[in-house]
Structure formats: structure tokens, C-alpha cells
Amino acid sequence: MKKLAGFMVLLSFLFVFSAASADIPSPVIKSVTASSDYDNNLPAKAVDGKDRTRWESEWKNDQWLRLEFEEPVTLTGIRIKWETASAYTYKILGSLDGSQWQVLAEIPDGNEGEDIRINFKKPAECRFVKIDCADRATAWGFSIFEIEFNAGKPYKNLPKRVSIPKGKKFFKVEQKGDKYWLVDPSGRPFISKGVNVVLDKDGAVLQNSQYYDVSEKYKSREDWAKDAIKRLKKWKFNTIGSWSDAATYFYDMPFTVMLGIPSTTDHRLVDVFDPMFIENVEATVAGKCKRFRDAKYLVGYYIDNELPWYGDVGWYTGHAPLLLDEYSRLPDNAPGRKKLEEFLQCAYNKSIDDFMKVRGAQSREAREQFAGIVADEYFSVICDTIRKYDPNHLILGVRFACNAPDDVARACGEHCDIVSVNYYCKNMKVDRQLFDNYYFICKKPIMITEFSYRAMENRSGDKNTKGADVTVKTQADRATGFDKYVTQVMEFPYLVGYHWFDYFDQSPQGRSFDGENSNYGIVDIYDEEYEILTGQMKKTNKQADTVHKKSELPYPDKAVSLSGYASVNNKSEARPSVAFCDIAELNVRRLGVWADSSSAAGFKFSKETDAEGAAFLKCEVTTGSGWGCGFNIPCDLKVKNGDTSVDLQGYKGIRIKMSVSNNLPFSLFMNESGANELGKLEYKGIKGADGESFSSEPNAGDGAVMTYDYPFDQFMLRTVFGNQSGNKTVDLQAIRNFDLYFPGNSGDGTCEIYEITLY
């Protein structure tokens, strides 16, 4: 821990005082020390007069911040501007000598992000003041933007502090008749109709941007919370969704809490076998669950949001989960790598190095199995810890990003009470098969925890160029989307709730951490509701319970697997091998690049020759922190279909000779004629092709020049691009293009392509 004791230089930090008269001097701070600090957020930043700088402690309970004045001063109160990572139980202590302390004030129910004024029990002469933080309100440490002291009269008209309502009965799930329902503390059936991000101010914005902020319109956050709850109830919503202000927890409105378990590495699912992961779980869960253990209106806890269960991202892109690959890159002594070694030796009699050379069905099977092993450890450790500290409330899953590997979903169902899924649906036709699969695999009720529609017609000026693409033209179209979506999902017998994303529009200049600039809000950035939307929300929400009760849809009797290889429409007669693309003649401007530019992903191309004079295409790859990047490879075949797609019937596959940087992952995508983004009303392919997109098994480079074979009968349907209602068949008679894809969060590297051949 970095302590700032012995701070010998006089700091020029002057406290802002609410003094009774100008005769009261403003004392100078001699030193500021802390039990710890984190990420260069030093103790002195809590008193530098800047609202954007802060002190942050280590991510542990029982931390403190201590201030020493140049000379004793009589104080009557304190103002603390907490960051979101605040304390929910803490004390203010005073001392004349730094060893004998008296309690000046005690707060048992602090809120995240609270700007709080506190009157001391009585005026106290102090040379030292200590903020003794006991329990965290979040998974992070303790963090303070700014501190101010009051040396004058006590603060007037402070809002009365309220406590979270306590109860002896809590929310649960039950099957009543042939339907699943939540049941509220009074015993009544309950469908959770929620809204995410209910805040008085958008906290994820750029400087000098336009954004939602009503914090100055209200006397206190409590007044704002009461008004926000009143509006939600007017629109017939009944639940405070994720990432909402804790000030909304103190009233008679059901709410949910996000835990957010810190990982032990940069990857959020690595290494769950490390004892440090168990320590992180214990530290995060203990404080949260002790706080909410008896909360009457808490529906339950989300463990986390959109975790990368497929290794690179949280949604299915056509490849097997790559968690096995992530664990293979851990140090030799890491617990997770040892667990992987044990699994591969027992199941396949192979070392990690030997297995990484395996291709085909066994490779996919092992990756799916190991993802399930990781998930079982993850859910069992976390859920057992939650129930140790809070046996009263539901565990609401991890908010899967649409899809999840079957074995991961199964582990979630075994340990959680509800399976939560974030599902956006542009064409307003909800994929019933997706949710039937979840229920059949998990045997637990399901809650949709994110969905939305955004319109180009909006008052905030949102361009809707970033974020989940559920774009429609008008606010009336948004209202139609809400009604169609909710009416469809409430027919599902296992569905117990749906939560809209989100309360207010995003900044038209984009969200600070990913650039999202979408009209997802029920209100605009000026706090005016979209009345066409809210009018429909009120009507649809009111009818949702009846739709659910009267639905006659059956429970699924089987699961339809999204994994596995697609069938191939091919001729029996073989065609001779031929170059797909002449690298020596390739014009790099013909390479169609697509990339997550918001995370700096992209390529730099050049044509070069090796020592033997062989031409190759050099691709310098930056995968970024988002979903990554790819480029399509032009085809040199002379005979093409009318839309420039090519007939590849008679070929077995495509072969690429190239070198790829060590451990840089990549896949090959194959797109049929008509392939396009999800949600199109039709996919206009030719010659019977129906616009599907397929992916190879994933590979990872080792730095050497290698030949990679991609048989056409070992491609899998992609579920994030292309037609999802097609024939699940590779229609070789009309293949539009091949893309080389590099997933995000994979670092930077180089790919050098020498030959591309059909065989």
C-alpha cells in the first residue's frame, strides 16, 4: 500500500467552507494520507478542488482517508462528493493528536455517487479528520471526488435519510398452472417490467458534449428518485433495471442489483480456478449481499453482463468457444492452465501443445466441453458465495449476449434461479427457437434484460451510428416495435420479465467508452418523454400479464443445436485445383475492409517479396478492444454469376498459405449470394442461395509459414450475420466472398498471405 505519511511539503489545497462569517479562517491542509491508493488516484486528489479528479482505494473493504490540518479547527460538518465506487457504511472521526479518535458522524446507508452533507453530533475541535470506510457499495474500492468542511453553523434543511425497506418475505419464482411467474413478497404473481439506467445524469459522456442531466432540477437525489419512480409507474413499468441510481432503492419499487465480479486477468473469465478469483468473489459479494440481505423490494442479483463466453466476444459468431485457447496461454504454473492440462490429458490423452494442433470435430468438442467446465466453476463459486451471505433473494444469471454455448447455459441453469438474456430484434420477429433452447437446456425461467428500438426521428439529435442496430424511422415505429416484441415474448410460458434499455437518450456526441449515440431513451436528453412511445408502453405493459396468462404456447420438447457443421450443396464430380486469387497481381485497394473503428481496429496492407522472390500480401493487424476486424479477399475466377458470386461446386475446400503472428487468432468466413446483416425482410440471393454466412473453426498463428485447409463441409452457420431462416446449407453454386476475420481483444500482429487456392 502506498501511504503518504510524512507529507512534509505544505500543500496549497484550501478547503471550501460554509462558514458563518468571513472572520472564520480557512485552514490549510498539512498532509493527506490513506490506507491505500489505486491507479494513480492519490489521496491528495480528494482535496484538490477539481470535481473530475479523485482518490481511489484498493478494491477492498476497511480503507481510510486521513487529513491533517496545519493547526486545530472547530468543525460542525462535512460534505463528501462520492464517486460511484462509494461506501455504504462509514464513520467520520476526529482527533487532536492523531491517536485518540472520537466519532463525529456515522453513516450506515450510503449511496453510490452520493453528494452528501453531514452535520456532526456536536462541534468538534480537530487537528486530524479520518473517513473510516467499512463496507463498499460496489465491486470497486472507495472513491471520493472532493471533500469540503463546514466550520460555521450546521447545514440547514438536510433531507431526511431513508433506509432500504426491509421484509421477511421476498421475491421467488413459481410455476402457477402451466406458466412461470415471479411472485412478489405479498404472494401475488408478478411479471418484471423494467427499465435500465434510471439515473439523474448520464455519467458516460465526453467533455463539451450534450447529454442528459436533470440533477440540478431537484433539491436532492431523493426528490429526483421519487419523481422518476412516479414516471415509471405512470408508464406501467414496475422494476428498476440494471445500472440505475441506488437512490431508487429506498421506495416501494422492485429493483435489481449488478454485482460485477472482478477477474484476475484482462479477460473477464480467466482465471476462475485461481484462488485470487475466489477472494475477489468473496470481497465483492460479501459487502453487497450484507447490504441487501433483508431488502424487501430487491428482485435479485445479476452476476455480470455479456461476458465473453465464446472467448473473444459474448455472442455466437460461428466458432466454438475459445476459452480453451485463452487458458492455454496462461503461465505454466497458473491454476487454470493446470486445469486445462488435466482435462485434455484425461479426455483426449494429449498435452496442451499437442491438442492445439488438432483440427475438426474433436477440436470443437473439446472447446465446448472446456467452456462448460469454466462456467460450472464460475457459477458454483459465485452462487454459493451469494447464498452464504444472502439466502433470501434470487440469482438472475449473467445477462447472456443473445447466445451462449450449450454447456455454459446448462451450468447457469444448474446454479442460478433465472436465466437472463439480452436480446435485440431489429425485424420485430422474436426468435422463439433461441428462447426455447435456453429453457430446454436450463430448465429455469427466463428474463429478457435488454431490448430496445431507436428511431432516426428523435429530439436528441442521435445519429444511431453506434450500438445495437435496431433502427427504425419514426417514434411510431419504436412504439410498434415495443408492442410486437413484448406481446410475442409474453406468450412464452417460461418468461418472467422484460427490461427496456434505457431510461434516457444517449449523447449525440457518443458514449465516452464506446461511442454509442442512440435514441434508446424513453425520454430525450432534455428530459421530455416520447409520448407516442410511452403511450404504447403504458398500454402494452398493462396487458402483458393477461397475454402471459392466456397464452397456449407449449413448452419445448427438444433443443435445436446452433452448433455443428452445415451441410453442403455440392457436385460429386471433382474440379481440378485452381488459384482463387493471384497474390502477385492483387491490388490492395480491392480488399474490402470492415472493422470496429471505434476501438481503433483495422489493417495496414502492403505488397512485398520474400528472399526467394515470392510475392506476399502483408497485413499489419490491430484487433482493438471491440469486436475486431476483417477483410474480404477478391476472387480471380473468370466465370461468375450475374451478381459476381461464383459457382464453387466440385471443389472440396479452400486453402491458404500464410504466416500469422504467434497466438493471434483468426477465422475464415464464407458468405453466400444475398448475405447481409441480421433482420432483413428478405435476402436476395441468386441460383437458390439464401444469404447465409458461415465460419470456419478458429485458428491461431505460430509465426511460421503454414498451409491452412478449410474444407467446405467444416463450416458452421454464423448467427450474427446473414439469413437465420435459411436452409442451413452451404450453397456452393453462389458464393459471394470469403473474409479473413481477426477477433477483438487479441492484441496486434501480422498476417502474410502467399497463396489462396481452391482444391
pLDDT for 5 beyond 70 = no
* Secondary structure letter of residue 732 according to DSSP: G
Phi and psi at residue 716, to the nearest 5°:
-120, 150
Q: Residue 46 has what pLDDT?
A: 96
| Cis, bond preceding 407 (omega within 30 deg of 0) | no
The model carries a pTM of 0.79
pLDDT for 599 beyond 90 = no
Closest CA to 237 of 422, 607, 502, 512: 502
Highest mean pLDDT among 112-116, 157-161, 321-325: 321-325
Residue 428's Cβ-count burial label (10 Å; 0-12, 13-18, 19+) is middle
What are the E-state strand segments in 423-560? 446-451, 454-455, 471-472, 495-500
Coil vs helix vs strand at 78: strand
Closest CA to 410 of 382, 447, 373: 373
Phi and psi at residue 547, to the nearest 5°:
-60, -45
Of the listed ranges 18-32, 229-243, 444-458, the least confidently predicted one is 18-32
Of the listed ranges 77-86, 194-203, 593-602, the least confidently predicted one is 593-602
Q: Maximum distance among all alpha carbons in the chain?
A: 100
CATH architecture observed for domain 570-758: Sandwich (2.60)
Torsion of CA 134, 136, 142, 144, to 10 degrees: -90
> Mean pLDDT throughout 401-417?
97
Q: Residue 242 has what pLDDT?
A: 97
pLDDT for 555 beyond 60 = yes
Closest CA to 724 of 480, 493, 425, 421: 425
- Predicted confidence band of residue 245 (pLDDT cuts 50, 70, 90): very high
pLDDT for 4 beyond 50 = no
**Which residue spans of the chain are classified as CATH 2.60.120.430?**
570-758
Strands 699-700 and 179-183: unpaired
Q: Residue 26 has what pLDDT?
A: 59
- Predicted confidence band of residue 10 (pLDDT cuts 50, 70, 90): very low
pLDDT for 715 beyond 80 = yes
pLDDT for 12 beyond 60 = no
Q: Describe the strand order of the beta sheet including 419-422 as a list of residue ranges.
A: 394-395, 298-302, 255-258, 239-240, 192-195, 495-500, 446-451, 419-422, 400-401
Closest CA to 742 of 660, 636, 640: 660
- Predicted confidence band of residue 685 (pLDDT cuts 50, 70, 90): very high
Q: How many CB atoms neighbour CB 8 within 10 A?
A: 6
Buried b / exposed e over 213-222, threshold 16 CB at 10 Å, is bbeeeeebbb
Q: Give me the amino acid identity at 280.
A: N
| Contacts of residue 499, Cβ cutoff 8 Å, sequence gap at least 6 | 192, 193, 194, 195, 196, 239, 241, 242, 447, 448, 449, 450, 451
Find out if CATH 2.60.40.1180 is the number for domain 172-320+373-550: no
Residue listed under C-alpha cell 416520447: 530
Q: Residue 6 has what pLDDT?
A: 37
Torsion of CA 144, 146, 152, 153, to 10 degrees: -60
| Contacts of residue 725, Cβ cutoff 8 Å, sequence gap at least 6 | none
Summarised one tens digit per residue, pLDDT across range 464-499 is 999 998 999 999 999 999 999 999 999 999 999 999
| Contacts of residue 34, Cβ cutoff 8 Å, sequence gap at least 6 | 3, 4, 43, 55, 57, 63, 64, 65, 66
**679 or 616, greater pLDDT:** 616
Q: Residue 17 has what pLDDT?
A: 42
Give CA–CA dist 637/580, Å, rounded.
6
- How many residues in total does the chain contain? 759
- Grid cell at residue 324: 480453451
Q: Residue 13 has what pLDDT?
A: 38
Task: Write the DSSP assignment of 540-589 as a string of letters.
Answer: HHHHHHHHHHH--PPPPSS-----SPPEEE--SS----EEEE-GGG--GG
Give CA–CA dist 631/633, Å, rounded.
7
Which runs of consecutive H residues, i.e. helices, occur in 349-474?
352-355, 361-389, 406-415, 432-442
As a whole number of Å, the end-to-end CA separation of the chain is 62
Report angle CA 404, 405, 406 to the nearest 5 degrees: 110
> Mean pLDDT throughout 104-118?
91
- Predicted confidence band of residue 20 (pLDDT cuts 50, 70, 90): very low
Q: Residue 22 has what pLDDT?
A: 43
Percentage, residues of the chain above pLDDT 70: 96
Give CA–CA dist 728/726, Å, rounded.
6
Q: How many CA atoms lie within 13 A of 568 on its CB side?
A: 21
Strands 471-472 and 400-401: unpaired
Q: Give the chain's radius of gyration (CA, Å).
A: 29
Helices (runs of H) and strands (runs of E) counted in the chain: 10, 36
pLDDT for 48 beyond 50 = yes
Torsion sign over Cα 321, 604, 658, 592: positive
Q: Kindly state the helix (H) or strand (E) to which residue 395 belongs, with its residue range.
A: strand 394-395
| Contacts of residue 414, Cβ cutoff 8 Å, sequence gap at least 6 | 376, 379
Task: Write the DSSP assignment of 585-638 as a string of letters.
Answer: G--GGG-EEEE-GGGT-EEEEEEEE-TT--EEEEEEEE--SSSEEEEEEPP--S
Give CA–CA dist 506/502, Å, rounded.
9
Q: Residue 43 has what pLDDT?
A: 97
Strands 578-581 and 748-758: antiparallel
Closest CA to 198 of 274, 124, 255: 255
- Predicted confidence band of residue 563 (pLDDT cuts 50, 70, 90): low
**Which residue spans of the chain are classified as CATH 3.20.20.80?**
172-320+373-550
Closest CA to 267 of 205, 321, 318: 321
- Please give the C-alpha separations between residue 29 and each of 72, 98, 598, in angstroms, as whole numbers: 11, 14, 43
Which runs of consecutive H residues, i.e. helices, occur in 15-110?
none
- Predicted confidence band of residue 7 (pLDDT cuts 50, 70, 90): very low
Q: How many CB atoms neighbour CB 10 within 10 A?
A: 11
Give CA–CA dist 343/358, Å, rounded.
15
Closest CA to 595 of 621, 617, 616: 621
Find out if CATH 2.60.120.260 is the number for domain 29-150: yes
* Secondary structure letter of residue 442 according to DSSP: H
**Which residue spans of the chain are classified as CATH 2.60.120.260?**
29-150
Residue listed under C-alpha cell 477492498: 60
- Grid cell at residue 270: 480467466
Torsion of CA 160, 163, 167, 170, to 10 degrees: 120
Q: Give me the amino acid identity at 250.
A: F
- Predicted confidence band of residue 100 (pLDDT cuts 50, 70, 90): very high
| Contacts of residue 398, Cβ cutoff 8 Å, sequence gap at least 6 | 302, 303, 304, 305, 307, 412, 416, 420
